[in-house]
Amino acid sequence: MVERIFEIIENEKKRQQNTIELIASENFVSLNVLKAQGSILTNKYAEGYPKKRYYGGCMFVDEIENAAIDAATRLFGVKYANVQPHSGSSANMAVYRALLKKGDKILSMSLDEGGHLTHGHDLSFSGQDYNFIHYSVEKETCQINYDEVRRLAMKEKPRLILAGASAYSRKIDFEEFRDIARSCGAYLMVDMAHIAGIVAAGLHQNPCKYADVVTSTTHKTLRGPRGGIILTNNEQIIKKINKTVFPGIQGGPLMHVIAAKAVCFEEAMTPEFIKYQKKVINNAKILCDVLKLEGFKIITNGTDNHLVLVDVKKSVNLTGKEAEEILDNIGITCNKNMIPYDPTTPFITSGIRLGTAAMTTRGFVEKDFAEVAKIISACLTNYDNKKILDDLKLRVQKLCDDHPIYEEVSYE
Ligand code: DSN
């Protein structure tokens, strides 16, 4: 029944309103992004690229795609953009396929040290089709050791070096990566999915200046619709990328999503967006500092971005899986996450990953994140005390009630 579907969507809306969202890869889009993505553009087939389509009636979707490309290139200060990838994974696949042959060597960070499935995990097409070798973070600091990356790169001579991560809370030196890639004759690819919004706001070194090609999702700190993009300054590379995205790995582009991407890129060029990203970073520092005061061990001992990786095993003797479930029960959503040199598996983990982008969008300020850190600490140290947990649930609900979201939106 159609009504049942809308009932479920309404339930999800209430869940979003009534929980504290700390998943570092999630955010809340603006009403304009939502409107574009829910628009009648979903009806249109447009295989190909502007002015080179395989269907008629593409005059307006051509304008939409050109507007998205134009906005993406202005936002990131880059010459070329492909805005069609349905996701970050397909953006990454397109780059590998455009620049490499099956079996070619790629140097990247592994999933358990902060990388991503598509950065060479055995269960992903990436690890199956290409010969990945991984650089590690340092055991002591849990930070990238650029000398070690250089040593590995010179020894292994990869075709491509991949920088970028899903669970790394420190700045990444893309210029250094560029120098290493040049020294060993490799392409440099950067996957900036997590930090794209911070880069857009000028608060992190822009990888587009240094990398041959940059991929990203559009829905994390960038606060757009779910989807991917590919950016480059190299005309030969964009030609190969375009052919690989369509017809290589995708069919018709999702024009409603591309319109929503265009809205998000425009929003990311406003002064408000820069202020927002400054708050995201500042709130992450507060979350991190208060957790440290509460006795928690933080991987890298701090953060430079939107993300805080907590070693819950060392801090409170819980696995990441247990901590995620315990927090879920009081209305705090986060995800279990491997930490560097984690002896467990991705389904158990020793850590949880927390991010501040979503709740900063909801208007949480420093004192709210300090309160969140205290709630997390009390919850994970008293997870078998029902009375304390009930009290914590009320504190979570109060924070949510004080920062409403999507009041204008109804699916009933
Ligand atoms: N799975 C995403 C994340 O949570 O970081 C990355 O694509």
- pLDDT tens digit string along 248-296? 999 999 999 999 999 999 999 999 999 999 999 999 999 999 999 999 9
Atom of ligand 1 nearest to the CA of 23: 4
| Burial (Cβ within 10 Å: 0-12, 13-18, ≥19) of residue 228 | buried
Residue-wise pLDDT tens digits, 315-366? 999 999 999 999 999 999 999 999 999 999 999 999 999 999 999 999 999 9
pLDDT at 20 over 90: yes
The pLDDT score that the predictor gives to residue 259 is: 99
C-alpha 144 chain-centroid distance: 19
Catalytic residue among 217, 300, 356, 361: 217
Contact 206, 199 (CB under 8 A): yes
The pLDDT score that the predictor gives to residue 113 is: 81
Give, in order, the Cα–Cα distances in Å from 342 to each of 58, 113, 238, 307, 337.
51, 8, 38, 18, 9
Tell me whether residue 74 is one of the annotated catalytic residues: no
Question: pLDDT band for position 13 (50/70/90)?
Answer: very high
Average pLDDT over residues 295-320: 98
Please state, rounded to an integer, the average pLDDT across all residues of the chain.
Answer: 97
Tell me whether residue 220 is one of the annotated catalytic residues: yes
The DSSP H or E segment spanning 32 is: helix 31-37
Average pLDDT over residues 43-67: 98
The pLDDT score that the predictor gives to residue 110 is: 83
Ligand 1 midpoint to CA 354 (Å): 12
The pLDDT score that the predictor gives to residue 114 is: 84
Q: How far apart are CA 4 and CA 10, in angstroms?
A: 10
Atom of ligand 1 nearest to the CA of 116: 6
What is the chain's alpha carbon radius of gyration, rounded to the nearest angstrom? 21
171-182 core/surface letters (b: 16 or more CB in 10 A; e: else): bbbbebbbebbe
Atom of ligand 1 nearest to the CA of 335: 4
Q: Provide residues with CB under 6 Å of ligand 1.
A: 25, 88, 116, 166, 193
Question: pLDDT band for position 99 (50/70/90)?
Answer: very high
Q: Which two tokens stand for residue 285?
A: 């520092």
- Measured in degrees and rounded to the nearest 5, phi and psi for residue 311 equal -85, 95
Ligand 1 midpoint to CA 38 (Å): 23
Nearest to 276 by CA among 333, 349, 203: 203
The pLDDT score that the predictor gives to residue 263 is: 98
pTM of the model: 0.97
The pLDDT score that the predictor gives to residue 173 is: 98
Contact 176, 161 (CB under 8 A): no
The pLDDT score that the predictor gives to residue 111 is: 78
Q: Which amino acid is at 283?
A: N
